[in-house]
Amino acid sequence: MSRKLAKGIRRGGATYSYAVADRLDFLNGDDWDAMTAGQSLFLSRAYQQILQDQGPRALTSRYGLVYSGKEVIAAVVAHVLRVPDESPGETVSETKSPGTDPEWLYRVPATSRKRQRVLLCGDFFAGGFHGAAVHPDADMGLLWPAITGFLERVFHQEGMIADFDSVLIKDVQSTLAFDTRALRSCHYQRVNANSTMMLAMPERWKTYNDYLENLNVRHRMGAYRVTRDLNRAHIHVQRLRDVSPHASRIHALYQAIQQKGRRVFAALPESFLPALGAGLGDGGFRCTGLFQDGQLDAFVFTIRDRDTAVCFCLGWDRERCVGLPVLPALLHAVIDDALSMGCRRIDFGRTALKAKAQVGAHPQASEIWARQSASGVPDGFQSALEPLSHSPNADPVLTFSQS
């Protein structure tokens, strides 16, 4: 980045130009690759191409490059989601501040559900900030005007209505949001959201056994009990190098969990995980299954994003797995898979906080910013993004030995 350009951005004097496209291959590929190289996997051409071709029909992606003069300074991706029609529900009679009531943002009058849409900057399925990549010499906090400018253009190009539709910027870490005046000046508000559960893994941990040896006695015995219970039920753990032969069963298990107790806004199609596994290759993902009597009864799909393993999705047969420690077993499988891929931390997401704390994960703060419409963001949308489950402020679980 030129010294003049960097100085202009620092002072807020840069003027931005935008290239906006419905498909990633409509943009300048060299500029996109220059911005996303070494950045989030979920901004990579490989992942976005799979999401574009194999992703949910309810989710429409929009891609953008931001320029200052002739120099590219940011790559941005956003998704337009049309909220499905539902039976009438509660109508909001008053507007509350997002700082006092997180549920305020996710209610919608029953008469509004057929048309309301959400524009989401970030990845709908993965935790973390995956909405934009900026020039390596640029200050992310000072480039929010460029990112919100792209979102504004998409919002109007899609015919979205300011008093009706909403814009979300998902999972902004505090390190990226230290200068939030730009977001506030564009009428964005910070929304209360739980922290994501992260497990840090020291360099000395090379294998799953290294992890077990560093657990305190109580949690190490808990891990051994999980293995014992699986053995007694004649369940064996197996890595699925090729997801395709199991695609139908995996999809059924995934749906069984996704549809439990919440609205599903955009579920992954059956073809998505096999395509993603093939695209990422052996070093980019792990899929581990639990088999009982020769049948796949549970799975977890983990993605490597640089030094982070992302617990992307999981599922299990709720009837066949009654009374079995399936979720703890899957979480331990993620740890084993993450270490085998050389990752140094795991992003477990925001649900089932207690179970994730039991394997050593701790909360890490992130934020959701919203440009709120008069009608609110759709009912249940917060649970779809997994920002609410249990309080992140509970006493941390002492999992590892202090020696």
| Size of the chain in residues | 403
- 190 alpha carbon, distance to own chain's centre: 18
213 exposure class (CB count in 10 Å sphere: 0-12, 13-18, 19+): exposed
pLDDT number for residue 31: 96
pLDDT of residue 92: 30
Encode 336-355: b = buried (16+ Cβ within 10 Å), e = exposed. bbbbbbebbbbbbbbbbbeb
With tokens 């394997």, the residue in question is: 359
Instruction: Report the pLDDT value the prediction gives residue 97, as an integer from 0 to 100.
Output: 35
H/E/C letters for each residue in 212-252?
A: HHHECHHHHHHHHHHHHHHHHCCEEEEECCCCHHHHHHHHH
Residue located via tokens 């069963």: 249
- pLDDT, residue 66, reads 94
Per-residue pLDDT in tens (0 to 9) along the chain, 403 residues? 555 444 444 444 457 899 999 999 999 999 999 999 999 999 999 999 999 999 998 889 999 999 988 889 999 999 998 776 554 333 333 333 333 333 333 333 334 444 578 899 999 888 888 999 987 777 666 678 888 899 999 998 888 877 668 898 988 765 555 556 667 777 788 876 777 899 999 999 999 999 999 998 989 999 999 999 999 999 999 999 999 999 999 999 999 988 775 566 778 999 999 999 999 998 999 999 999 999 999 999 999 999 999 999 999 999 999 999 999 999 999 999 999 999 999 999 887 888 999 999 998 887 788 886 544 555 555 544 543 222 223 333 445 555 4
Q: Judging by beta carbons within 10 Å of its beta carbon (0-12, 13-18, 19+), is residue 54 exposed, middle or buried? A: middle
- Cα separation, 3 vs 364, in Å, equals 35
Contact present, 62 and 80 (Cβ < 8 Å): yes
Return the pLDDT at 288.
98
Q: Are strands 71-82 and 132-134 parallel, antiparallel or unpaired?
A: antiparallel
* Distance separating the N- and C-terminal Cα atoms of the chain: 47
User: Domains plus CATH for the chain?
Assistant: 3-195+365-382 (3.40.630.30), 198-364 (3.40.630.30)
pLDDT at 199: 96
- The predicted pLDDT at position 165 comes to 80
Q: In whole angstroms, what is the distance from residue 239 CA to residue 179 CA?
A: 44
Q: What is the pLDDT of residue 294?
A: 94
